[in-house]
Structures are given as structure tokens and as C-alpha cells.
Structure 1
């Protein structure tokens, strides 16, 4: 019997969309080895020259003009992609999408980015594709560009996102609250001493500071301020693919200390979270969900106007973190994790909250059940 094939389509506008696709793919195979998965950043796959140029331009815009990104987000917030935009996307970037489907012959398509989602929806509307389409919304908000009448099932992070979709006229029966999927590495806890030995870390209070896949770090001197605690607290800076930021930090005497590590891109974030007592991060939907799955307290900095602001509001409102607005908050949280009893009790409280609202395996399980 042929294995069921799931095709997951994403784009590289931020690393979270593709991370969610891979997380779901790994989760499906973990739960059912008879599932065959394939993850493709479709625009980059079909346009290997133009695609990366567009991604790079978007990355620079996010880094240097975040307010512009926010304005565009809010301007189109309640609007689906119109048919002209869908046609333009197809003609410019996705001309050969049908050939991909003909070659891979998927039984199910899951889109984790609005671009491929709009194009597949158009092909379904024209009667050129008859494959179930699931849309996995990778934030804690529901922007209008995710929505289309051709989507068979929406997979969303919270009941609040479901309500936003139903307010736009989408039937509740087409929406499943699954949470955002995380890689199976985040489903369980790793051995702390083994991780410390592997990374050369000490068994002392530890803070993990992340800049996402693009390594967009805090822009003012608060990063350096944290190093004032380096004699008592271990600091792990993850700057992703931002090689310039890593070189700059490594050359700065403030970061040259046995209790400070500056890492580039790593696939072992789940393990670093297990040895950390506090996570400081931009509020991207994927990183926040990974932190949630580990029950680690979070401080959020410089949310990009739009979806990251909404992500931040959600996690702050439900007590999973706090917005980092001052050096006083650094002192407050760093002092807390130096108190072992207080730190352990706080994390236990977060785990109880997590268990009430989120199951790391739920999205993969839900997709398998829906396929059946």
C-alpha cells in the first residue's frame, strides 16, 4: 500500500513559517511512520534566483523599517487576497506549481504561509486541483491574507484566533484549534547535565537570548547591560544567521567571558531551553510556542508591528512572559532566577498553565485524525 503523502508549502519570510512546516512534518512521521512528507519553500523552489532576492529585500525592510511593515500589515488586516493578486502571484512566482503537484502527487497540502495558500486556493477554485488544503496559521493572530473559501481546514493556535476567523464568516466546522506545532525535540525534556557537557556550560542560572533565524537582536545597549551579571549568571546569545552580529559581539570585551557564549545558527534550541531559566526573545510565533512547550519564562523585546505585537500581547496576558522595557526588568528577572526555590516554583506554575492551554503533540495528532 502506498504511503500517504503530505506536501507542506511555505515561504522564507521569517524563519517561523518554514520551521512550523518542518515541525509538523517531523511530528506526523513520529506518530505515524507510514506518512511521507515533503517541505518546500515554493517561491524559492520555483524561482531559485528571484526568490532569495525578494526574501533578502524583505529581511532588510523588517530590520530597518519595521513601522512600514506594520502599516502594510494593518492596512490589509481584514482583506483576503483578491483574485487579481492571486493571479499575479501565480504568473510571477508560481507558474509551475501544477507540475510540482503532478510529480509529487500529494494526498494533502498544508500551507504555512499566505502566498502558497492563495495560489493553491486559486488552482482549486479553477478546478485544476482537487486536493484537500489545510492552512496552518503560524501566529496568534488571523490576518485576512490567510483566508480563502477553498481552504478545507484551518489549523490555529488559540480559541481567540478561531473566533477572529468565525467573525469573518468562516464556519467553525472548518477551524481546528491545534496550537502551533513544534519539533518532537520540544515534546520532552532532555538530560540537563549531558547538554551542559556538550555545550561547555556550567550548572549555574542561565539566560538564553535569541534573535530568531535572522538574528535580529536588541538594538540598544541592553544586550551589553546584561553582561554586568556575567559573574553570577550564564548568558547564551543565539544570533541565528546574523554572522555580522556574532563577529561584532565576539570582538566586544563585554562579551568575552567564560560565562558568555555567542552562538550562530543551531538546531538544538530545545536543548538550550532545557538548561536555561529564562528566555529573552523577539515574539515570533514559532519561538514563543517553543518556549511555551518548555514552560520557560519569557521576556519579549522589540516586536515587529503587526503579528509580533499580537503574539506578545497574548503571552503577556496569559502570564507566560513580560515585555522587556527597561534595565530594571533585567535586574528583576535576573535576581529572581538566582533564587533557586522561586525560579523552580515559577516554572512549575508555567508548566501547569501550559498543560491547560497547549499540548506540543496536538497539532500533529489532529492532522492525522483529520486525514483519517
Structure 2
């Protein structure tokens, strides 16, 4: 019997969309080894020269003009990509998508980014007969995700489902599944063994992350945290931002045995396990990974738009707090130095997580829908 094939399409605008696609793929294969999955960042795959340039331009805009992105996000908030825009995207960048699909012969397509979602939706209008599932990878429902050709929406929360229904999407086409995380984030590790692996001490530990593109060195609050370096261990994850890592390593503030400055790593799940507090930009994927670990979170510099909504959701749900001043740092660095209070708070978050979230729910839902 031919194995079922699932094609997962994403884009490289930030790392969360593609991480969600890989997490769903791994989850599906763990539930049913007879399923074949393929994850593709479609723009980069079809345009290996132009694609990375577009992503780089987007990254510069995020860094230099975040308010512009926020303005565009709000202006288009309730609007799906119109047919002219879909046609332009298809003709300019995605004209070979149909051939890719024809070659791979998927039984199901899952899109974790609005652009490939719009491209596949257009192909379905033109006759493509493959179910299209849309996995919204944030805690908001921007209009660019929506299309009448979508077979099923997989969403993070009831609130996102309600936003879609308010715009006319039938509730029967929406399933609340949560955002999938890699199974590694559902494993627990021995803390002392992790401390030995990463050459860390048995001290209260803070993990500071800047999303898929790393920390911005200029943030004064990140530097302020180094004042606690004699009593609190600090792990700065700068991602692929090698220039920032070099600057931090050359800065006397960060030259201390209790401070680690790491580049790109695939072991964030372990670093979250050995940490008592996560300080991060509120990307949908990072927040969900933190949720899966039950680690308290502080959010800084959300990109205007979806990251602001992500932040609002996790603060309202009690999983995090906005990092607005040095007073917030002082408050939380004091909490994690009080062992009973810190452990009790994390236990409370784990209990809340167990009530609200199951990391395999999205994979199970897709598997059931395929049957």
C-alpha cells in the first residue's frame, strides 16, 4: 500500500513558521510511521538566489523599521490577499509550485505561512484537487491567512477561532489544536546532568533569547541583567547573529564565569529545562516552546503586530509578563533566587499547561482528518 504523503510548506521570514512545520512532521511520523512528510520553505526552494535576498530585506525592515511593519499589519488586518496579489506572487516567485506538487504527489498540503498558503489556494481555484490545511503559527488571525479554498484551519486558541468566525469562516472549518512543538520539548532532563553538559553551575539561571535572528546588542535591559552575574547565571542565545556575539564576547560586562554567550543551537529544549526564567521576544513558536516547558517568561520589544498579540495572550494567561523596566528584572531575579517560590511557581505553570495544551494535539488532528 502506498504511504500517505504530507507536504508542509513554509517560508523563512523568522524561524517559527518552519519550526512548526518540522514539529508537525515529526509528530505525524511518530503517530504513524507509514506517513511520509516533506518540509519546504517554498520561496527559497524555488528561488535559491532571490529568496534569501527577500528574507534579508525583511529582516532589515524588522530591525530598522518595526513601526512600518506594525502599520502594514494593522492596515491589512481583516483583508485576505486579493486575487491580483496572489497572481503576482505566483507569476513572479512561485510559478513552478504546481510542478513541485505534481512531482511530490501529496495527499495533503499544510501551510505554516500565509504566502505559500495563498499560492496553493490559487492553484486550488484553478483545479488542484488536494486538501489544504492552514496552521496559523501565532496567537492572532491576520487576514492574510484566510482563503475560501482552505479546507481546514488549525489554530492555537479558542480566541483565534472566534476571530476567524467573526470574519465569516465557518466554525466547522476551524479546529483548535495548539501550535505543535518538537517532541524534544515534551521530554524532561536531569538538571544536574544538563549543568555538566553545558559547563554551568548549580545557580539560579536565566535564558535570554532574541528569536530566530538573535539578540540585538543595543538593548540596555539586557546589559542591566549582568549586574546579577555573581548570584544568577545568564545564558544569552544570539542565534545566527555572529556580529552581536563577537561584540558581547569583547564587552567586559559579559566576561564572567556565570555568563554564557551562545550562537545558534539546536538544544534550546535542554536550556529551557535547566533555566528558571526565560526572557525572549514573543514569537509564536518560542512562546509555545516556553509554554510546553512551563517556564515563566518575560517579553521584550515585541514586533508591532502579531508579536504584540502573542505577548497579550501569554500575559493574560499568566504564563509571562512584559519586561518594561529594570524593576521587572529586579522582581523576577529576586523570585528565582528564592528556591521554594521559584519551584512552586513553575509547578503552577506546569499544571496550567497540562490543562490547556497538548503538544501532540495538532498531529493527532491532522492524522484524524486524513482518515
Question: Structure 1 length as normaliser, TM-score?
Answer: 0.98
TM superposition shift of 1:119? 0.5
TM superposition shift of 1:213? 1.3
What are the equivalent positions in structure 2 for 1:41-56 lying under 5 Å apart?
A: 41-56=41-56
The answer on whether the counterparts of 1:218 and 1:302 sit within 8 Å (CA) in structure 2 is no
Q: Size of the alignment, in residue pairs?
A: 371
Provide the residue aligned with 1:139 in structure 2.
138
CA distance in 2 between counterparts of 1:32 and 1:262 reads: 39
SS of the counterpart of 2:265? coil
TM superposition shift of 1:218? 6.5
SS of the counterpart of 1:52? helix
The answer on whether the counterparts of 2:217 and 2:244 sit within 8 Å (CA) in structure 1 is no
SS of the counterpart of 1:351? helix
What are the equivalent positions in structure 2 for 1:101-112 lying under 5 Å apart?
A: 101-112=101-112
Provide the residue aligned with 1:292 in structure 2.
291
CA distance in 2 between counterparts of 1:219 and 1:23 reads: 32
Provide the residue aligned with 1:271 in structure 2.
270
What are the equivalent positions in structure 2 for 1:46-195 lying under 5 Å apart?
A: 46-127=46-127, 129-195=128-194
CA distance in 1 between counterparts of 2:131 and 2:66 reads: 35
Provide the residue aligned with 1:227 in structure 2.
226
TM superposition shift of 1:357? 1.2
CA distance in 2 between counterparts of 1:215 and 1:148 reads: 33
Specify every segment of 5 or more residues in structure 2 that has no aligned partner in the other structure, as ranges: none
Q: What CA RMSD, in Å, does the superposition of the two structures yield over aligned residues?
A: 0.8
SS of the counterpart of 1:296? coil
The answer on whether the counterparts of 1:30 and 1:184 sit within 8 Å (CA) in structure 2 is no
The answer on whether the counterparts of 2:16 and 2:283 sit within 8 Å (CA) in structure 1 is yes
SS of the counterpart of 2:213? coil
Provide the residue aligned with 1:18 in structure 2.
18
CA distance in 2 between counterparts of 1:126 and 1:102 reads: 14
CA distance in 2 between counterparts of 1:124 and 1:70 reads: 31
CA distance in 2 between counterparts of 1:301 and 1:260 reads: 20
What are the equivalent positions in structure 2 for 1:353-368 lying under 5 Å apart?
A: 353-368=352-367
CA distance in 2 between counterparts of 1:97 and 1:295 reads: 39
Q: Deviation string for 1:207-238 (max 9, x for gaps)?
A: 00001110143643111110111111110000
Provide the residue aligned with 1:281 in structure 2.
280
CA distance in 1 between counterparts of 2:348 and 2:214 reads: 30
CA distance in 2 between counterparts of 1:280 and 1:218 reads: 14
Provide the residue aligned with 1:239 in structure 2.
238
Provide the residue aligned with 1:29 in structure 2.
29
TM superposition shift of 1:191? 2.1
Does 2:207 correspond to 1:208?
yes
CA distance in 2 between counterparts of 1:160 and 1:72 reads: 22
SS of the counterpart of 1:148? coil
The answer on whether the counterparts of 1:230 and 1:260 sit within 8 Å (CA) in structure 2 is yes
